[in-house]
A = this chain, B = another copy of it.
Amino acid sequence: MPRAKSQSRESLLDNALNAFWKIGYHVISMGDLVRETGVSRAGIYADFGGKQDLFHASLDRYQETVVTPAFAPVEASGTGIDGIETYLCNLLTRFELAGGFGRGCLVGNTLTQIPEIDVETRAKLQAHCDRLTDGFRHALTNENGPRGPLTQPEIDDLARYTMISVQGLWSYSRLTNDATVLRAYSDTLIAVLKSRLRGSLQ
């Protein structure tokens, strides 16, 4: 009779996710993963098939257990710019509590490490960016209202602008331990969005 694997599989995934996130796909070794997860090599291979498959599963797990709760304020129905503000503020608070030199975003970290040829991984990264863009578009559309100052193409541009800016924020968060710089960036970004939606830009 097969034992209930779901619990340990999820725990394994969480540990692997954290290792990939902090150390990076290429730098982390299977030996490290065995040590970090407490699961034997054979167990990892039996459950996932290999390092790359474990990483892909970790990327999916990242979406479920990290992005979904963190991004919930943005994806909540009826939210506006305040949802984006809450999202950023929460993550910056987490950064401060961790004492700086954060892990950044697993997706942003990964896209600087994979070759152009790895289309399967790229698709997962693109899907993440699309999810962020969709969320921001949702919030900005609500904020704009039915007869707001911005047209739909302008909102699309602003949503992509927000997504790319957030990637820059998490990227730089790996280098600095100064939360005030990140807070200032977040504040300016929010101010830009508000300004745009007041129609006072251009």
Contact = CB atoms under 8 A, between A and B. Distances in A.
Given A101-B116, A112-B113, A168-B169, A160 B181 contact: yes
A104 interface: yes
A202 interface: yes
Given A101-B116, A161-B188, A175 B27 contact: no
A34 to B, nearest CB: 19
A195 interface: yes
A167 B112 CA distance: 12
Interface string A165-179: 111110110111000
A interface majority secondary structure: helix
A27 to B, nearest CB: 6
Given A188-B158, A191-B202, A201-B200, A113 B168 contact: no
A195 B191 contact: no
28 contacts: A24-B112, A24-B113, A26-B27, A26-B113, A27-B113, A27-B115, A108-B112, A111-B171, A111-B172, A111-B174, A112-B113, A112-B171, A113-B113, A129-B175, A157-B188, A160-B181, A161-B185, A164-B165, A164-B168, A164-B169, A164-B185, A165-B165, A167-B171, A168-B169, A171-B171, A191-B202, A195-B200, A195-B201
Closest 10 CB pairs of A and B: A168-B168, A109-B112, A167-B168, A26-B26, A164-B168, A161-B188, A164-B172, A157-B184, A112-B112, A195-B201
Interface of A: 23-24, 26-27, 101, 104, 108-113, 115-116, 122, 125-126, 129, 157-158, 160-161, 163-169, 171-172, 174-176, 181, 184-185, 188-189, 191-192, 195, 200-202
Given A111-B174, A160-B181, 15 more contacts: A23-B115, A26-B27, A26-B113, A27-B115, A112-B112, A112-B171, A129-B172, A164-B185, A165-B168, A166-B168, A167-B172, A168-B169, A192-B192, A195-B195, A201-B201
